[in-house]
C-alpha cells in the first residue's frame, strides 16, 4: 500500500486536499479545541459552529476581495452545484417578478403580461451548462429559456469552443431574469478567459442583466470581479474542500426583494422548496437545517492556507504554470497526444483534456498510458466516463512538483513511442 506522499492525484473531483489540512482535521474529528468532543459531534447551532461559519465566510470574501459592506451575502448550502441549477431559477425569477410587482404598484395583471416575455438566458459551452438550461426548462417551460449560444452549433456538433460575442443572441435586458454561464466546463475542458463583455451592465442601470457564475471547478483559482455577478456558486469539492457543501455568494438586494408564495401561485410559477430559498437560508445564517459543519471547517482551513500562501493572485500564477506545462508536452508530442481543445484562448487551466493516438502497430496507447501512469503513482487522469480520453485536473491543492512529475512521465512515454520532442515557436 503506497503512502500518501508516494502518489499524485489529478482527479476531477472530489479532488486532492492539502495534507496539512487533513492532518489538522483528523485531530479535530477526535477532539476539537480541547472540548473533549470531535468537531462532527458539536451542535451546528453552538457558538463554536457559528464561529466556524463566520470565519469561513470571511475567508471567502477576503479571497474574492469583497468589501465588508453587506452588499453580498455568503450562504453555505448542500446538494452540490446541481442543486443550484434549480435554486438560481427559483430566486432570480422571484426577484424579477417582485421588482415588476413593485414597479406596477402591485398590479398582478400587468406583471402577468410582462411575464410572457421573461427569459432565463443560458450560454451553452459544455455538459454542465446544458444541464443547467435543461433544469430551467423543466421548471419554467421552454418558452422561458433563451439559449444565447450553443457552442456545438459552431463546432460541428461538438463542444470545444466559445463562439465570438458578436454571434451571441441576448434578449432585451428588461426581459432577462438571469444570464447563466459555466466559467469552467470540467468534463469538456473549456474555460472562459475572462468575464464576457457582452454580459456587462452599467453601474446603477435599472434593467441590469443579472449574471450567474457557475464556478464549481475554478473558484478561487484566479481574481474575480464579484460586482459583475448577481450570484456566484461553487461546489466545494474541487478547489475549496470536501464534498458536502456548496458556497453561494449572492447580492443582498436579491434577498430583500422576493415575492410571496401567494404571488407565485397566482402567476402559475413554481414556489421554491424551503431549502432552495436563499432568503430563508441567509436569514438563518445557513442553519435552517443541520449543516455539515465539519465540511465548512475543512473549507475554512483550506481558504486560510490559501490566504497565507499569497492569496488568489499567487494561486492564479501557479495555475497558469501548471496547466501551461501540461499543454506544452501535449502540443510538442502530436504523434502521441492530441489536445481536445485546439483553441488555446479557451483551454481550461483546471482540466486539461486530451487523447492518445493509436500506436504504430495499432496498440491502444491510451490503455497503456493509464496503466503505466498508475504504476508510477500518477492517479486520476482518466477522462470523464461520458467522453473518455485523458483529463488532468490541476486544482489549487495539486502541487507544481506533482505536475512536473507527471510532465516528465508524459515526455518519457512519448519518447518510448519513438517520438522526437518538438520545439514550438
Asked if 93 and 254 count as a contact pair (C-beta separation under 8 A), the reply is no
- The confidence score (pLDDT) of residue 23 equals 96
Of 248, 280, 305, the residue at which a domain comes to its end is 305
Residue 400: inside a domain: yes
Confidence of residue 363 (pLDDT cuts 50, 70, 90): low
Q: What is the DSSP track for 225-247?
A: -GGG-SEEEEETTTTTS-TT-EE
Q: Is residue 317 part of a domain?
A: yes
CATH number at residue 409: 3.90.1150.10
* Reported confidence tier of residue 419, pLDDT bands at 50, 70, 90: low
The region of weakest confidence among 201-215, 231-245, 370-384 is 201-215
Q: Decide if pLDDT at 362 tops 60.
A: no
The secondary element (H helix, E strand) that includes residue 211 is: strand 211-214
Domain boundary residue among 250, 277, 305? 305
Residue 14 inside a domain? The answer is no
The grid cell for 133 is 438550461
Is there a single domain that holds both residue 131 and residue 65? yes
3-state secondary structure of 280: helix
Give helix 47-63 / helix 293-308 axis angle, nearest 10°. Answer: 40
Tell me whether residue 365 is in a domain: yes
Q: Are 300 and 264 found together in one domain?
A: yes
Question: Tens digit of pLDDT for each residue in 279-333?
Answer: 999 999 999 999 999 999 999 999 999 999 999 999 999 999 999 999 999 999 9
Q: Is residue 386 part of a domain?
A: yes
And the C-alpha cell for 209? 442583466
Residues 259 and 338 grouped into a single domain: no
Specify the DSSP element, H or E, that contains 88. Answer: helix 80-103
Same-domain status, 123 and 210: yes
- pLDDT score recorded for residue 395: 98
pLDDT per position as a tens digit, 72-105: 999 999 999 999 999 999 999 999 999 999 999 9
Q: Assess if residue 350 is contained within a domain.
A: yes
Question: Do 181 and 159 reside in the same domain of the chain?
Answer: yes
| Beta strands 119-124; 145-150: pairing state | parallel
Distance separating alpha carbons of residues 388 and 366, to the nearest angstrom = 10
| pLDDT over 90 (residue 238) | yes
pLDDT digits (tens, 9 = 90+) for 193-227: 999 999 998 877 788 999 999 999 999 999 999 99
* Interatomic CA distance for residues 186 and 50, integer angstroms: 33
pLDDT of amino acid 422: 62
Instruction: Give 131-170 pLDDT, tens digit per residue.
Output: 999 999 999 999 999 999 999 999 999 999 999 999 999 9
Task: Name 8's bridge partners.
Answer: 378
Parallel, antiparallel, or unpaired: how do β-strands 184-185 and 211-214 relate?
unpaired
Please check whether residues 355 and 268 belong to one and the same domain: no
Is pLDDT above 90 for 344?
yes
Task: Residue 74: give the domain boundaries.
Answer: 47-305
Provide the pLDDT for residue 360.
63
How far is it, in rounded angstroms, from Cα 92 to Cα 176?
10
Residues 292 and 321 both lie in one domain? no
* 404 inside domain: yes
Considering the domain architecture, whether residues 295 and 368 belong to the same structural domain is answered as: no
Residue 63: closest CA among 239, 212, 286: 239
Q: How much of the chain, in percent, has pLDDT values that exceed 90? A: 91
- The number of domains in the chain is 2
For residues 223 and 276, membership in a common domain is answered with: yes
Q: Which of 122-131, 281-290, 378-387 has the lowest mean pLDDT?
A: 378-387
Residues 185 and 101 in one domain: yes
Secondary structure element (H or E) that encloses residue 214, with its range: strand 211-214
SS3 label, residue 63: helix
Say yes or no: 54 and 164 in one domain.
yes
Q: Are residues 234 and 329 in the same domain?
A: no
Q: Can you give the CATH number for the domain in which 235 is found?
A: 3.40.640.10
pLDDT of residue 418: 77
Q: Would the pLDDT of 1 be above 90?
A: no
Any domain includes 27:
no
The pLDDT, as a whole number, for residue 205 is 78
Among 305, 336, 367, the domain-final residue is 305
Amino acid at each position: 500500500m503506497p503512502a500518501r506522499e508516494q502518489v499524485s492525484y489529478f482527479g476531477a473531483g472530489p479532488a486532492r486536499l492539502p495534507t496539512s489540512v487533513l492532518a489538522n482535521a483528523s485531530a479535530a474529528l477526535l477532539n476539537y479545541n480541547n472540548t473533549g468532543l470531535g468537531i462532527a459531534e458539536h451542535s451546528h447551532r453552538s457558538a463554536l459552529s457559528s464561529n466556524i461559519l463566520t470565519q469561513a465566510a470571511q475567508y471567502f470574501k477576503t479571497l474574492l476581495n469583497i468589501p465588508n459592506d453587506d452588499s453580498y451575502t455568503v450562504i453555505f448550502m448542500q446538494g452540490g452545484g446541481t442543486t443550484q441549477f434549480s435554486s438560481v431559477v427559483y430566486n432570480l425569477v422571484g426577484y424579477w417578478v417582485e421588482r415588476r410587482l413593485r414597479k406596477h404598484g402591485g398590479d398582478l395583471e400587468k406583471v402577468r403580461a410582462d411575464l410572457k416575455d421573461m427569459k432565463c438566458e443560458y450560454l451553452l459551452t459544455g455538459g454542465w451548462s446544458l444541464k443547467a438550461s435543461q433544469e430551467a426548462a423543466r421548471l419554467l417551460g421552454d418558452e422561458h429559456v433563451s439559449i444565447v449560444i450553443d457552442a456545438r452549433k459552431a463546432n460541428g456538433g461538438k463542444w470545444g469552443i466559445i463562439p465570438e460575442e458578436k454571434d451571441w443572441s441576448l434578449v432585451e435586458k428588461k426581459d432577462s431574469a438571469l444570464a447563466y454561464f459555466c466559467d469552467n466546463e470540467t468534463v469538456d475542458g473549456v474555460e472562459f478567459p475572462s468575464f464576457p463583455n457582452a454580459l456587462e451592465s452599467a453601474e446603477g442601470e435599472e434593467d441590469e442583466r443579472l449574471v450567474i457564475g457557475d464556478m464549481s471547478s475554478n473558484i478561487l483559482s484566479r481574481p474575480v470581479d464579484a460586482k459583475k455577478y448577481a450570484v456566484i456558486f461553487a461546489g466545494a469539492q474541487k478547489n475549496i474542500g470536501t464534498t458536502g457543501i456548496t458556497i453561494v455568494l449572492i447580492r443582498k438586494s436579491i434577498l430583500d426583494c422576493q415575492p410571496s408564495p401567494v404571488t407565485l401561485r397566482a402567476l402559475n410559477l413554481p414556489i421554491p422548496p424551503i431549502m432552495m430559498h436563499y432568503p430563508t437560508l441567509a436569514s438563518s445564517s445557513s442553519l435552517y437545517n443541520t449543516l455539515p459543519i465539519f465540511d465548512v471547517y475543512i473549507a475554512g482551513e483550506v481558504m486560510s492556507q490559501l490566504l497565507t500562501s499569497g492569496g488568489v493572485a499567487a494561486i492564479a500564477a501557479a495555475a497558469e504554470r501548471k496547466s501551461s506545462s501540461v499543454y506544452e508536452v501535449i502540443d510538442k508530442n502530436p504523434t502521441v497526444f492530441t489536445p481536445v481543445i485546439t483553441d488555446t484562448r479557451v483551454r481550461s487551466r483546471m482540466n486539461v483534456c486530451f487523447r492518445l493516438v493509436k500506436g504504430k502497430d495499432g496498440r491502444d496507447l491510451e490503455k497503456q498510458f493509464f496503466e503505466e501512469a498508475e504504476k508510477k503513482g500518477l492517479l486520476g487522469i482518466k477522462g470523464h466516463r461520458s467522453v473518455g480520453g485523458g483529463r488532468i485536473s490541476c486544482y489549487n491543492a495539486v502541487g507544481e512538483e506533482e505536475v512536473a512529475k507527471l510532465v516528465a512521465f508524459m515526455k518519457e512515454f512519448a519518447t518510448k513511442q519513438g517520438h522526437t520532442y518538438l520545439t514550438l515557436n
